[in-house]
Amino acid sequence: MQDEGWVVVARISGLGSDFDANMLIARLEAEDIPAVRLPVQAPTTAMGGLVHEPIRILVPQDRVDDAKSMIADSEESIRGKGLPDWIVWPARAVVVGIGVGFIYHLCSIVAQVLRK
């Protein structure tokens, strides 16, 4: 996609990467910076960001400097006001666990309906 005038400005991976990527895109779009993510929504991405390939955030070539500046400002403010990692990571794990449990429950309901 870089050949078409879009440039990667961020790579996000790990637990909660799907949420973090969506939040970054929302912040970029709030600043009138068009942004897309690749992969858009892979099945493993939907499972709480447990992916091997990072999610790439791309913006138009002419907005790269604005995007990088906004990302740097956001990271600075998050680091300054954020919760410590020992609180954040267990909280994210709980959220992912709830999401996985919901998907499992939903699949078992669909399986029961299909058996009838």
Encode pLDDT of 49-66 as tens digits.
Answer: 454 678 899 999 999 999
Return the percentage of the chain with pLDDT > 90, whole number.
Answer: 26
* Rounded CA separation 69/74 (Å): 9
- What contacts 67, CB < 8 A, 6 or more positions away? 9, 28, 33, 35, 59
DSSP symbol at 15: T
Q: Yes or no: say if 4 and 59 are a contact pair by the CB < 8 Å rule.
A: no
Average pLDDT of the chain is: 76
Which backbone phi and psi does 76 adopt, to 5 degrees? Answer: -65, -45
Q: What are 77-114's pLDDT values in tens digits? A: 544 455 566 566 666 666 666 767 777 778 888 888 88
What is the per-residue pLDDT for 82? Answer: 54
pTM above 0.75, yes or no: no
Give me 100's structure tokens.
Answer: 């996985």
Pick the CATH number of 2-82 from 3.30.70.790, 3.40.50.300, 3.40.50.720, 3.40.250.10: 3.30.70.790
Asked if pLDDT for residue 76 goes beyond 60, the answer is: no
